[in-house]
Amino acid sequence: MVFLKKTHLNIVVTFSLLISSLGWANPADSLAVKHEANTPHSELAVPMSEDEKKDSERKEFIKHHLLDSHDFHLFSYGEGAHESHVGFPLPVILWDEGLHVFSSSKFEHGHAVAESDGKYYMISHHNGKIYRTDANGTETLDKKGHLENVQPIDFSITKNVVMIIFTGLLMFLIFAGLGKSYSKNGSIAKGAGRFFEPIVLYIRDEIAIPNIGEKHYRKYMSFLLTIFFFVWFLNIFGLSPLGVNVTGNIAITAALAILTYIITTFTAKKSYWGHIFWMPGVPVPMKFVLAPIELLGTIIKPFSLMIRLYANILAGHVVLMSLVALMYKANHFVGTPLAFLLSFVLMLLEVLVALLQAYIITMLSALYFGAAVEEHHHEEAHH
């Protein structure tokens, strides 16, 4: 099977995704430090009602679920000063005139200033990023309300990065085991491999071969299998109580789209570029007009790939979390069960969407690869 012959390439592509995610992922913890000194007087002067406080808490909860953070927050109990958070911290890795490594527990879920080697850091409530500050957590704002605090280079292991690494290792273990079962049992899958084998064959027979062709599909199979299972697994984890939303992060979908673009560009045939820069059968003046448009199209295709996955996953999470919040907002014997029923149905739909989006990104990638290696025939051959 192609998958077995290309296992090493599969591993390389998986870890390329990991490296891309480490470079792109920006933490955006919604639990932020509140600095009353920088809050407008009008906001301090008008206290929020109990309903407004609850609405604000619901919005923050939805925002916290959608965005990346420096810790895994599972749930909370208690209220006010007695509120306790259940979860576990992650390592914060900063470069600020030297390397600073410490636990995110120092931020106390965004309510405290962390000290490292004589420097102080805070999570800003303006954008959720880490900035250098003083012991009091002072934020310096310009006239437009933008932070002027020094922002260190952030290499932190956030919860999205943890899930990407975990998914990569999970894929490696599953498919390494599938490969071993083939070699030991006469090309017959055993255990969990029996579930994944039909999916691998489907991607080969129904996506790769029809769109790329018998002659060239093998060299793309490793990437197509990797991107399918990578996106599918992360989409499923995004529906779990862990509160991860990796594929709803545009930085992650951008990394996937860039990989597709790079592979398409560097494996394309001369005829592919010939049809872009000097389209056959078209009047010469029109070739100069169409060439920039065709070239722009090569960039728009992976861009649409990025937006499609990001928008669909993010929108699904927003609607689902809004329905969950509506259950508490309604607080009625009719409204609450109805909101629960809608959220339950939507959750089932999201399970389907998780698989569908993995299929779509794999299918479109195969289409782009197929166009890059397509055997073009000049018009003269038809006369």
Mean pLDDT of the 308-331 span: 80
Residue 336's pLDDT is 73
Residue 276's pLDDT is 82
**Long-range contacts for 161-167 (Cβ within 8 Å, ≥24 apart)?**
161/21, 161/22, 161/25, 162/72, 162/90, 163/234, 163/237, 163/242, 163/244, 163/246, 164/17, 164/18, 164/21, 164/234, 164/246, 164/252, 165/18, 167/230, 167/233, 167/234, 167/237
- pLDDT tens digit string along 84-109? 666 778 899 999 988 999 988 888 87
Report the candidate in 240, 322, 328, 341 with the shortest Cα–Cα distance to residue 62.
322
Tell if the pTM clears 0.85, that is, is over it: no
Which one has a higher pLDDT value, 75 or 141?
Answer: 141
The answer for residues whose C-beta is within 8 angstroms of residue 119's C-beta and 6 or more apart is 96, 97, 100, 132
- pLDDT tens digit string along 31-60? 333 343 344 433 444 566 666 666 666 666
Which one has a higher pLDDT value, 326 or 208?
Answer: 208
Q: How confident is the model at residue 255 (pLDDT cuts 50, 70, 90)?
A: very high
Residue 261's pLDDT is 94
Mean pLDDT of the residues in the chain: 78
Of 23-27, 65-69, 323-327, which range is least confident? Answer: 23-27
Mean pLDDT of the 153-161 span: 90
Q: How confident is the model at residue 381 (pLDDT cuts 50, 70, 90)?
A: very low
> Burial letters for 298-327: b for 16+ Cβ neighbours within 10 Å, e otherwise?
beebbeebbebbbebbbebbbebbbbbbbb
Residue 81's pLDDT is 58
Residue 172's pLDDT is 92
Given a cut of 90, whether residue 334 has pLDDT beyond it is no
Give the number of C-alpha atoms closer than 13 A to the C-alpha of residue 265, restricted to the C-beta side: 12
